[in-house]
Amino acid sequence: MKLETKRLILRDWHKKDRDDLIEGLNNYRVSKWLALVPHPYTKKDADEWINYCKQNAKSKNRSYHFAIELKSENKVIGGIDIDKINKFHGIGGGGFWINEGYHGQGYGTEALRAKLDFAFSKLRLRRMESGFFKGNASSLKLQKKFGYRVEGLRKKGFKCKADGKLKDEYTTALLKEDWSKRR
Confidence of residue 182 (pLDDT cuts 50, 70, 90): confident
Mean of the per-residue pLDDT values for the chain? 96
pLDDT higher than threshold 80 for residue 10: yes
Residue 40, preceding peptide bond in cis (omega within 30° of 0): yes
User: What pLDDT is attached to residue 179?
Assistant: 94
Pairing of strands 166-175, 149-159: antiparallel
pLDDT band at 62 (very low <50, low <70, confident <90, very high): confident
Q: At what angle do helices 107-117 and 137-145 cross, to 10 degrees?
A: 50
User: Residues 6 or more apart from 183 whose CB is under 8 A from it?
Assistant: 117
Is residue 166 pLDDT above 80, yes or no?
A: yes
The pTM score is: 0.96
Domain 2-182 has CATH 3.40.630.30: yes
**pLDDT over 70 at 61, yes or no:** no
Q: What is the pLDDT at residue 59?
A: 72
The domains of the chain are located at: 2-182
> In one letter, which amino acid is 170?
Y
Q: What pLDDT, in 10s, does the model give residues 25-59?
A: 999 999 999 999 999 999 999 999 999 999 887 77
